[in-house]
Amino acid sequence: MLDGMNPRQREAVTADFGPVLVVAGPGSGKTRVLTHRIAYLIEEQGYPSHRILAVTFTNRAAREMRERVDGLVGEMGKRVTLGTFHNVCGMILRREHEHTAFSRDFVIYDSQDQIALVKKVLIDLGLDSNKHQPWPVLNAISGAKNELIGPEQFPVPNYDAEIARRVYLEYDKRLQASDARDFDDLLTHVVRLFQQHPDVLERYQRYYSYALVDEFQDTNMAQYELIRLLAGEAANIFVVGDPDQSIYAFRGADYRNVKRFQQDFNPATIILEENYRSHQYILDAATAIIRENPEHIRRNLFSQRKTGPKLTIHEAYNERDEAQYVLNAISDLVSSREYKRSEIAVLYRLNAQSRVLEETFVRSGMPYRLVGATAFYGRKEIRDTIAFMRLVNNPLDRVSLDRVINVPPRGIGDKTVEQFYAWADTMPGGVWGALQALVHGDQTPLSGRSRNTLTQFAEMLNRLRLKLDTSNPLELLDAVLEETGYMEYLQRDRTDQGQQRLDNIAEFRRVAYENTEKSLAGFLNEVALVSDVDNLDKGNADAPTFLTLHAAKGLEFPVVFIIGLEEGILPHRRALEDEKEMAEERRLMYVGLTRAKDRVYMIYTFRRMMWGYYDMNMPSRFIGNIPPEITLGGARVPQPPAEHLFYQPKWETKWEPTNTRQTETPKAAKPVPARKVAPSRFQKGQQVVHQAFGDGVVINTDSSGDFEIVDVLFKQHGSKKLDASFLQPKGEA
């Protein structure tokens, strides 16, 4: 079991009982240590496997851990409770539903369901949806839940917070009325369950008497409190993490939980420093960047691969030249047979950066895989079908009913739906009670065609619910598609898009087929917790992968391109004046670099159009942190792209394309006229106005090229280099 392990890994696997903290650098074999620790407890210590709980963050990671544990200890490993935080918490809540206000078959609302519900609450509260956007309100609610703050305790330092509190109160009421929980509730409701029912907590402390946590640096306060409660006085808890790889602060993750764990448990601490993924140059580059963070735990990452290809730094002219460079470099790597396309990833800070990449690759005919595009489970036909299945499982689910009550079109208009809900709110059983009243012919405020149509809908739902106890998910899916008329509805669309929707339904049937041993509730729970990265292996098998730096966490590739390495993009502009945000950006760059096994390409542009205007950002400070002796390339005078390859804005000087591959004797070249110098519009010290950045003062101007570049110091945004055409003298704006 310990063969091939380095001394630190052996120390971690064979550690004594009690609290243990393993600080695992990137590529240091943390998953191997975690799974071998489980196997060591079972085989060497004789620990009961069913009393072991292991949690991680993604289904992908959980599957990998499960396969490794099963491979080490066989059938005994199947008794280990191993899954994501959300899966494990969902299981506990269903098992202990009698101690909660929800049924065993509660629905899990995903992000789209949550947004739909928040929008409805905003409308019903009479709030201006243009002024109070759903996403910021939902983020405020999610942030409060992650910190275990209920709506009654929600702080209201300003008017926006008061709006969020009002929405939070109503949002939670409607979740309960629909017998639904969102992702955050899965965690917070288990914590609440344990806090309010000490006997239940004691039972789980005895049952799960040893706990292991993967990616501990990504835990939020609710997850930390959950683990702290389960650990109890025995504190048989083994956590693995790396504060330098904590990059999900926007989701509530708090890297300081590692320090809290040290303070609360005083654990034995083991540091894994040997890297089995990257060569030393990559590790040195990553270390040079991350050591600038004040909270960094000092360590010496090392690899047995002492050298490798130096890291390439390239300056492109603009974002289209950047995309073309990536395409050409990938083509060269593949044509040399050094790497397959599937072994290459292109990472970026913002989702919007993928657009130009996609256009360039489509134009060239090179395939690619895009993580974070419209996910399979986010497509309309899949969401419609899941909504029907969720209604069959839980007819109180109002968000799902909203979605499909008139799908396929049944002639149920908005006014009818409004009347139905107003009446349903007066019924003891809510919407389900109202639907049953229609079936039984009870007196209702509805009449005529509206009543008949809703009655038919209720009868259809009843027929489907009769199949719940005797049918598996695939059989129920087929019944839903037939009874609702949804399959016939899709088949009437003879377009390519209609065929794609049918293909997606066929793929969904395959998913149901693979889960026939589950109950409908278990199947719906599974699909609700799937993420984009979980399905990364599906799709085009021989194509480079495009994904954000956040999505790349936990993955590895032989070749990594990181684009957009400019101040304001990576690091993000909001971090330029906030050291806490800047520390997060350093961790993000650290994660990006350490995804690479062999080669790293770092690209920044001379000028880039972002948010509707061209800006001339400085190269990222992260590039300046890297020792120059381990890099190739660097700053240069970039050449504008050939006109026939790239779009030129109408105000931009057109450049003549060049062709260096000549097979015939060239004709005598015409004299090239001297390049005109652009007239200078601005002078040093002049006050100017920019539409986005506001007031500023010119600190330098350069009109030696074809257009004037002005260096401006803005009051709110610091120094920026801009094309003069985007500025106005103050007083003329």
Q: Is the peptide bond before 408 cis (omega within 30 degrees of 0)?
A: yes
CA separation for the pair 368, 383 (Å, rounded): 25
User: Residue 60 and residue 37: Cα distance in Å, rounded?
Assistant: 20
Instruction: Find the helix or strand (DSSP H, E) in which 345 lies.
Output: strand 344-348
Distance CA 733, CA 730 (A): 6
Contact between 384 and 486 under an 8 Å Cβ cutoff? The reply is: yes
Q: Are 706 and 676 in contact (CB under 8 A)?
A: yes
Instruction: Report which DSSP code applies to 157.
Output: S
Which of 6, 1, 80, 64 is CA-nearest to residue 31?
A: 64
Cα 326 to Cα 605: distance, rounded to the nearest angstrom: 12
Q: Please, which residues have CB within 8 angstroms of residue 27's CB and are 6 or more apart in sequence? A: 275, 276, 277, 278, 556, 594
Burial class (CB in 10 A: 0-12, 13-18, 19+), 459: middle
Residue with tokens 């027929």: 463
How far apart are alpha carbons 180 and 523 in whole angstroms? Answer: 16
Contacts of 358 by beta carbon, 8 Å cutoff, 6+ apart: 368, 370, 546
DSSP 262-299: HHHH--EEEEE-EESSS-HHHHHHHHHHHTTSTT----
Of residues 491, 476, 450, the one with CA closest to residue 391: 476
Q: Distance (Å, rounded) from C-alpha 624 to C-alpha 589? A: 13
Q: Are 561 and 271 in contact (CB under 8 A)?
A: no
Q: From the candidates 31, 287, 453, 548, give the one annotated as an active-site residue.
A: 31
Cα separation, 186 vs 178, in Å, equals 15
Q: Which of 279, 299, 302, 282 is closest to 291 using CA atoms? A: 299
Q: Which of 30, 369, 597, 599 is catalytic?
A: 30
Question: Which of these is catalytic: 105, 172, 215, 566?
Answer: 215
Q: Which residue has the tokens 């032989």?
A: 558
The answer to whether 215 is a known catalytic residue is: yes
* Residue the block writes with tokens 């120390």: 11
Instruction: Pick the catalytic residue from 501, 595, 597, 720.
Output: 595
> Is 595 an annotated catalytic residue?
yes
Are 364 and 543 in contact, with CB atoms under 8 Å apart? no
621 catalytic? Reply is no
Paired with 109 in beta bridges are 182
Radius of gyration over every alpha carbon of the chain, rounded to an integer in angstroms: 29
Helix, strand, or coil (residue 480): helix
- Beta strand 687-690 pairing with 727-729: antiparallel
- CA–chain centroid gap for 236, Å, is 31
Cis peptide before 571 (omega within 30 of 0): yes
- The one catalytic residue in 179, 214, 567, 584 is 214
* Residue 245 falls in the annotated catalytic set: yes
Distance CA(54)–CA(37), nearest Å, equals 11
**Residue 385, SS3 per DSSP:** helix
Beta-bridged to residue 241, according to DSSP, are 23
How do beta strands 180-182 and 613-615 pair?
unpaired
User: C-alpha distances in angstroms, 219 versus 90, 110, 256, 430?
Assistant: 17, 20, 9, 37
Q: Is 31 a catalytic residue?
A: yes
Q: Is 58 a catalytic residue?
A: no
Catalytic residues: 30-31, 214-215, 245, 595
